[in-house]
Amino acid sequence: MASFSPLFLSFFVSMLLCLEARTLPISSLVSKDLFDSMFLHKDDNACPARNFYTYDIFLKATRCFPQFGNTGSLTVRKREIAAFLAQISHETTGGWATAPDGPFAWGLCFKEEVSPQSDYCDSTNKEWPCHPGKSYKGRGPMQLSWNYNYGAAGKALGFDGLKNPEIVANNSLIAFKTALWFWMTEQKPKPSCHNVMVGKYRPTEADIAANRTAGYGLVTNIINGGLECGIANHGGVNDRIGYFQRYATLFNVDTGPNLDCENQKSF
């Protein structure tokens, strides 16, 4: 009787999930023209991720996550997509204050972290042990970081995140999948970004005490609250908000309340 490795089985399950969700109608909400109008400069010669983050690959990746952009009213669906695209735009931005077309037209310019300050190895995490010589720096649209995120994402999506973290910067489909995986996956005590944006977040007592209120600001807290939240007028938070406001306008939806996390404690 043939035996299969856990990695193969994980990959097989991942492929079945993508096939099952093949009819996900994200393209009815995000046309190629809309996508291109959001990311005006992602394929400029100045952007290291030139031609890496394509519209077709984005659509293909979303098929593996059937609830993404497909939960709630039309407004909620559009707002969630706008929020996701805004967050990955900040994570990969090549913009600056006086950039052509404004600072919020430069999302998806980078595919990996430039000049990382460490190898992002949490040696205390025994579930996802670091592989010798590997860096778990930020890669992909969400700038996936740390060994425990690479390991968990790889297990869910069918690649070896610990031994081959570089694949997130070398394979655009896997890159987009890791961003969507992070967005859709609850990592307690953090809720998923998806549940926050579609109204399924229910604050715990600890959340209430920390003033973690539903809204786009809480998504920022989930992604990078330790460095950006609880700080007045933080530049990174403002950049995330700027992208969200621009994209919400392009989607013709409002942003909803609680855009920042200035008064929230991080998780």
Residue with tokens 């995000």: 30
Residues 6+ apart with CB under 8 A from 237: 217, 220, 228, 229, 231, 260, 261, 262
At 109, list the tokens. 């310019």
Quick check: is 262 catalytic? Answer: no
Angle among Cα 61, 225, 163 to the nearest 5 degrees reads: 50
Both structure tokens of 12: 């097989």
Q: How far is CA 83 from CA 70, 193, 238, 241, 259, in A?
A: 14, 9, 14, 9, 10
3-state secondary structure (DSSP) of residue 197: helix
Among 192, 190, 170, CA closest to 180: 192
Could you write out the three-class secondary structure of 205-258?
HHHHHCCCCCCHHHHHHHHHHHHHCCCCCCHHHHHHHHHHHHHHHHHCCCCCCC
Which residue is catalytic, options 91, 112, 113, 228?
A: 91
Q: 156: helix, coil or strand?
A: helix
Residues with catalytic roles? 91
